[in-house]
Structure 1
Amino acid sequence: MSNDPIFETLTPSQFITFTIPNSINHPCYLHTPSIRVAVLDSPVGAAADDLPKVAAMIVPDQRETDWNFCTESGHVQLLFNSPNLSRLILIGNDLPPNPEPSVYIRPPDTDTMDREKLEDELQPLVMALHPKVCFRKGLPEPLFLTYEDDVLYRVIIARFVGPFVGEFVVEDVEIEINCDSSKKLRRRLRFKRMPNLIQSQVPLIPDIGDGEFATELTLDSLRKMKHTKFHVDTTVLVQPYLTPMVSGLLLISSHLNERIQLGFTPRALCLGVGGGALLTFLNSQLGFQVVGVEADDAVLSAAKQYFGLNNEKSIKLIVGDAIDMIQTNSSQVNFDIFDAKFDVVMVDLDSSEAGNGNSAPPPEFVQKSVFQSVRLLLHDHGVLIINVVPVDEVFYMKLVEELKDAFHKVYEIDVGNQDNFVIVATLSPTFSSNDHDNGFLKRLRYVIQGGYMDSIVEL
């Protein structure tokens, strides 16, 4: 294996897995007779004058058949999580290819010195999987990454396969918040094609039956209690970018308040539904009529079954390609599908290409023709709000410039991490009124937590 020329050079997007006998037999990490090794080269080549950055990761115990670690799409996302990485090597136990485990409980932390000893034993293997160019200036220093997430306990409660998104799961999780003692319960939607991306999540509320007493409110103990039932809380938004998206309504709050006073119900078009948290919130907390467009009917079934999304008169759900649909219907005066114009179009579409990492919106959305179609769907004082996870700075700048060409003003809201932004594009000048005169703005400030409304900046 160390002499295999296939590993001597970097080949964009090359993905190879193999097994070798386990000579280490570590009690916590590598304890199967064989170990599985997966090697992925980045789709983005390193600059000619730079030494490639190569890293290895030991698969966490009990996560070997987790989609994050046993699929190529999961491997791609792990690679993109580390900036400028040219090759990622995963090393883990060789287990049968079972479905993602239904229950996961985080094992206790291992001793740091013990882990460092294991990494030392794996160094020859990792060095053998470095491309030749890495030795140009001497022996490289093997780099080991660690994987950490917030999940303490996870149980998969439903599995689906959709014709568009493929296999996905609905799962209940117990997570730790800010590495302190506080813990929260969440219901999540996760796709196999992008397993590290949480597509949707909502708070999970346990309803403890009569006669039951929970000595510790862990998800594991709650599930073991005979009469415990769970429901979701749709009155708050916990997905990090959803609150900033709703905060963008501040820019047209006076327009919305005026329409409400005239007897009109505000209307929102949501491109991308997922679990439906945004649609339900706009409807129940802010009084919008909502139309949601989702590419896969299986996702809508999961949203209605497990995330509290109701397909009622005030929430209309449509199955189809969102981009094709807005371009087709914006040119029709009668609006066969959408019925009428909207006050806001909210875009929560991610790229379907796992090779792009976690990115949004898809490249095909960033076109003049699409933005012109959106304009035709909006009222004169309407607004377009987009969840943006840019592939790179060039993509982001192109998006902003295209929006500036099509709309009156473009604004940015920083979600609070380096990768996520919310972009707001208005069709006309905004005007403001104070909270005393604006009932909609009062309501918006009441239901939205955090200071996102005060952090909107014009680009």
Structure 2
Amino acid sequence: MPSIPFLSYEDDVIRSTPVEKLIGPSAGEMLVEDVEIDRSPMSPELRRRLRFKKMPNLVQTQVRLLPESVDAALIRPEIGSLVHPYLSHMVSTLFLISPAISDAFLSGSPPWVLCVGVGGGPLLMSLRCHLGLRVLGVEADDVVLSTARRHFGLVESEFLKIVIGDGIEFIKNYAMEISESKLFHAIMVDLDEADPMSGVGAPPLEFLEKSVLLGARRALHPDGILVVNTISSIKDIYARMIEILRSFFSELYELEVENGENCVVVATSSPIGSITKEMKHGHIFEKLKQLSCDRFIDSMRKI
């Protein structure tokens, strides 16, 4: 059996303060903690993190904490905080379908994005609050969802909805029950393998089953994309995943994350075609630029 290294988070933590310990039906024991990150000697950065006991060295969610006022001791989570290493990379992939997203806005019907795996919810809040997209999240553990609401700034609304359930089953069954007008412009999958010793990491192997990928393809808009956060310590597993995705989708793109652990894979419903100069001056590009996600666009490569 291969040796599986623990995934590690930044080791420049000055101090850690437990906020709450909880137990969820799917996630098991979990810890919410506030940590100070040594970003500079004069002004350490304060973040809130969620970790699961079954994967103690992997940070499930982290958001930046901001003071309520200059003098106040109170702090609040930054809305749509994208400090987690790979989230900005996932958001940046929307540039590939920026013309389709812009067309949807112009038609008066902002596009929907499906987020499978909510965690603390910073990805969902960023898509909704900063990009103006409509978001549907699927979270397996109601305790994780409650924690996201209380500690990480997740706020549901008419255009940000969350359902409790198995995300993989949701993808498999969704397209059988909806009309073409309710297709997703993007499906973003951020799910970990339940067994941390399997070497798979993310996504779970059952996500790659034919029925699931067919469901994802059917649930996507004709110009939509499937965006998957991947972690694997075994190269053959990653290569097999790419081979399977290639058989269901039109094109594949890859975006490696600087931490050396995550890699974001994008599968498209239709050929993207060439990236034009106009796309880098469009509405979506400007929104991505405001989030500092534009710096990852040129790193996306077709595979």
Same fold (TM over 0.5): yes
In structure 2, the partner of 1:44 is: 2
SS in 2 for 1:202: strand
SS in 2 for 1:351: coil
Q: CA deviation at 1:182?
A: 5.7
The reply to whether residue 150 of structure 1 matches residue 12 of structure 2 is yes
TM-score by length of 1: 0.62
In structure 2, the partner of 1:80 is: 5
TM-score by length of 2: 0.92
**Residues 1:395 and 1:357: Cα distance change in structure 2 (over 3 Å):** closer
Q: CA deviation at 1:150?
A: 2.3
Letter in 1 for 2:19: I
- Among 44, 53, 56, the residue aligned to 1:195: 56
- Computing the radius of gyration from Cα coordinates, the structure with the larger value is 1
The Cα offsets for residues 232-282 of structure 1, whole Å up to 9 and x where unpaired, read as 112441000001101111110111111111211111000000000000000
In structure 2, the partner of 1:319 is: 164
User: Is the 2:6–2:57 Cα contact (8 Å) retained in structure 1?
Assistant: no
**Residues 1:291 and 1:345: Cα distance change in structure 2 (over 3 Å):** same
User: Is the 2:31–2:50 Cα contact (8 Å) retained in structure 1?
Assistant: yes
In structure 1, the partner of 2:210 is: 368
Q: How does 1:225-264 map to 2 (within 5 A)?
A: 228-264=73-109
User: Is the 1:435–1:442 Cα contact (8 Å) retained in structure 2?
Assistant: no
Letter in 1 for 2:67: P
In structure 2, the partner of 1:341 is: 183
Q: How does 1:285-304 map to 2 (within 5 A)?
A: 285-304=130-149
In structure 2, the partner of 1:451 is: 295
In structure 2, the partner of 1:425 is: 267
- Among 104, 114, 128, the residue aligned to 1:269: 114
Q: CA deviation at 1:151?
A: 1.7
SS in 2 for 1:318: strand
- Among 132, 149, 152, the residue aligned to 1:307: 152
Identity %: 39
Q: CA deviation at 1:44?
A: 2.9
Q: CA deviation at 1:370?
A: 1.3
CA–CA separation in structure 2 for the residues paired with 1:455 and 1:307? 30
User: Is the 1:381–1:426 Cα contact (8 Å) retained in structure 2?
Assistant: yes
What's the RMSD between the two structures over aligned residues?
A: 2.3
CA–CA separation in structure 1 for the residues paired with 2:199 and 2:293? 29
User: Is the 2:187–2:227 Cα contact (8 Å) retained in structure 1?
Assistant: yes
SS in 2 for 1:356: coil
**Residues 1:184 and 1:148: Cα distance change in structure 2 (over 3 Å):** closer
Q: CA deviation at 1:324?
A: 1.2
- Among 26, 47, 57, the residue aligned to 1:186: 47
In structure 2, the partner of 1:175 is: 37
SS in 1 for 2:109: coil
CA–CA separation in structure 2 for the residues paired with 1:417 and 1:240? 7
User: Is the 2:89–2:293 Cα contact (8 Å) retained in structure 1?
Assistant: no
Q: Which ranges in structure 2 are unaligned for 5 or more consecutive residues? A: none
**Residues 1:209 and 1:285: Cα distance change in structure 2 (over 3 Å):** closer
The Cα offsets for residues 23-43 of structure 1, whole Å up to 9 and x where unpaired, read as xxxxxxxxxxxxxxxxxxxx4
User: Is the 2:14–2:35 Cα contact (8 Å) retained in structure 1?
Assistant: yes
Q: CA deviation at 1:356?
A: 2.7
